[in-house]
Amino acid sequence: MYFCQQTKSHMQDFINELPKLAKDAEKENLKFFAKLKKRTPKNLDYIMQELHEEEFEKTDCLDCGNCCKTTSPIFTNADIARISKHFKMKEYQFISQFLFFDEDNHHVLQTAPCHFLGADNECMIYDIRPKACREYPHTNRKKFHKISEITMNNISICPATYNIMEKLKSVLEEKAKR
Ligand code: SF4
Ligand code: SF4
C-alpha cells in the first residue's frame, strides 16, 4: 500500500499513521530482507536509485521533518569540527552543549527535535549538516540489503522510506513472476 503525501496535511496524517503501518508490515519486511540477503538481484543498486529518486520527486522533506524531530544523527569527529568551527565554538564546548555519547559510543544530540531544526522544517546548518543527515534515509545506499536494521527502524519514522519499501517489494514481486 502506498501513501500520497502531496499536501502538508496529508503528510501529517501519514506521519501519524506511520508507527502502526510499520508495525503491521514488520513481519513481512523482515521476511523480505532475509530473502533479499539470500538472493540479491544484480541490479539492486540501480533499482534503489530509481525508487529513491521517484519517491523524492513527490515527497518534500520540508513538509515533513519527522527524522529531525524524532531521532538524532550520529555526529562524527569531522562533523563536530566543521559545525563547531561554524559557530566559533571549541569542539568540547559544542559537545557539552549539544551532544552526548549513546550506548554505542556515538555522539548524538541531547534533545529531540534537533536543536538546529528551524521554522518550516528548514535545517539551520544545512550546508554543513552532519554526514548522517546528508545520507538519510539511506534508501539510495549501495548494497541496500546490508542496511536492513537501519531501514526497519526508518520505516516507522520516514514516510518516504515506508513508500520506497512498499514499492521495492512490489517491483521485485513483479520481476519474480516474469
Ligand atoms: S542537523 Fe539539520 S538535517 Fe540534521 S537532524 Fe538537525 S535539523 Fe535535521
Ligand atoms: S527524510 Fe524522511 S523523515 Fe526525513 S524529512 Fe524527508 S521524508 Fe521526512
pLDDT tens-place string over residues 113-136: 999 999 899 999 999 999 999 999
Ligand 1 pocket, residue 132 CB under 6 Å: no
Task: Name which residue sits closest to atom 4 of ligand 1, judged by CA.
Answer: 133
Q: In sequence order, what are the beta bridge partners of 109?
A: 99
pLDDT of 175 > 90? The answer is: no
How many A from CA of 55 to the centre of ligand 2? 11
| Nearest CA-CA partner of 84 in 120, 92, 138 | 92
SS3 state of residue 99: strand
Task: Name which residue sits closest to atom 5 of ligand 1, judged by CA.
Answer: 68
How many A from CA of 161 to the centre of ligand 2? 8
Ligand 2 pocket, residue 66 CB under 6 Å: yes
What residue ranges do the domains of the chain occupy? 8-65+140-177, 74-135
For residues 2 and 160, give the distance between their C-alpha atoms in angstroms, rounded to a whole number: 10
pLDDT of 5 > 60? The answer is: no
